[in-house]
Amino acid sequence: MRARSTWGQALVLVGPALLLLVAIYLYPLARLLVLSLAGGADGALGLGAYRRFLESSVYLGVLLRTIRISLVVTAVCLVLAYPVSYVLSRAGSLTLRVIMVFVLLPLWTSILVRTYAWMVLLQANGVLNNFLRRLHVIDEPLRLMYNEAGVVIGMAQVLLPFAILPVFASLRNIDPRLHAAARVMGAGPWRRFRSVTLPLSLPGVAAAGLLVFVQALGFFIIPALLGGSRVITLAMVIETQVVDLLDWSLASSMAMVLLVVTVLLVVGFDRLLGLDKVWV
Give the interface segment with other proteins, choosing from 52-60, 189-197, 208-216, 218-226 (CB under 8 A): 189-197
Mention every residue, 6+ apart, whose C-beta is less than 8 A from residue 159: 73, 77, 212, 215, 216
Instruction: Verify binding: residue 279, other proteins, rule CB under 8 A.
Output: no
Of 193 and 220, which CB lies nearer to other proteins in the complex structure?
A: 193
Give the interface segment with other proteins, choosing from 94-102, 171-179, 209-217, 218-226 (CB under 8 A): 171-179
CB-based burial label for 262 (10 Å; 0-12, 13-18, 19+): middle
Contact residue for other proteins among 16, 43, 92, 186 (CB under 8 A):
186
Instruction: Verify binding: residue 183, other proteins, rule CB under 8 A.
Output: yes
Contact residue for other proteins among 96, 142, 200, 242 (CB under 8 A):
200
CA-CA distance, 10 to 8, in Å (whole number)? 5
The minimum distance between CB 189 and other proteins, in angstroms, equals 9
CA-CA distance, 217 to 96, in Å (whole number)? 31
Burial 10-24 (b: 16+ CB within 10 A, else e): eeeeeeeeeeeeeee
231 φψ region: left (φ > 0), alpha (ψ -120 to 50), beta (else)? beta
Instruction: Verify binding: residue 175, other proteins, rule CB under 8 A.
Output: yes
Mention every residue, 6+ apart, whose C-beta is less than 8 A from residue 58: none
Of 158 and 196, which CB lies nearer to other proteins in the complex structure?
A: 196
Of 127 and 181, which CB lies nearer to other proteins in the complex structure?
A: 181
Of 12 and 184, which CB lies nearer to other proteins in the complex structure?
A: 184
Residues at the site binding other proteins, with contacts judged by CB under 8 A: 175, 177-178, 180-188, 191, 195-196, 199-200
